[in-house]
Amino acid sequence: MASKTQSCFEDFFPIMANKLGGDGLVGELCNGFRLLMDADKGLITFDSLKKNAAVWGLQDLTDDDLRNMVKEGDLDGDGALSQMDFCVLMFRLSPDLMEQSQFLLEEALHQELKGCY
């Protein structure tokens, strides 16, 4: 269910990736993860997301919205987001970055295959 307050989303990840490089972007994602995680569990839980949501401007999201965010990124089904779950989710939510990543992967594979002949 969508929240009552819809915001316009502009995908800044490709710009960040170009500016920071791969390692820098992953570092920033790790920093974001730490801002939202439960310090005792080392995971982003519904409760930690709700508690820390204002940091990301998400204070107007409903509990259902926050639960759905955790569910969307929960790759292993444990009801929380690990750092890997969080990073994968952030990439999945950035179609432009995913497209760029696919291009870079295809380019790397092409170069690798050229070296095999």
At 75, give phi and psi (nearest 5°).
-70, -30
The CATH number covering residue 64 comes to 1.10.238.10
Gyration radius from the chain CA atoms:
17
* Cα 54 from Cα 19, distance rounded (Å): 26
Tokens 């969307």, residue located: 72
pLDDT of the residue at 68: 93
Q: Minimal CA–CA distance to 12: which of 96, 106, 83, 77?
A: 96
Q: Which two tokens stand for residue 100?
A: 């760029």
pLDDT of the residue at 78: 95
Number of domains in the chain: 1
Q: To the nearest whole number, what is the mean pLDDT of the chain? A: 79
Single-letter code of the amino acid located at 32:
G
pLDDT digits (tens, 9 = 90+) for 29-72: 888 899 999 999 999 999 999 998 887 787 888 999 999 999 99
Q: Residue 82's domain spans which residues?
A: 13-114
- 98 found inside a domain: yes
- 6 found inside a domain: no
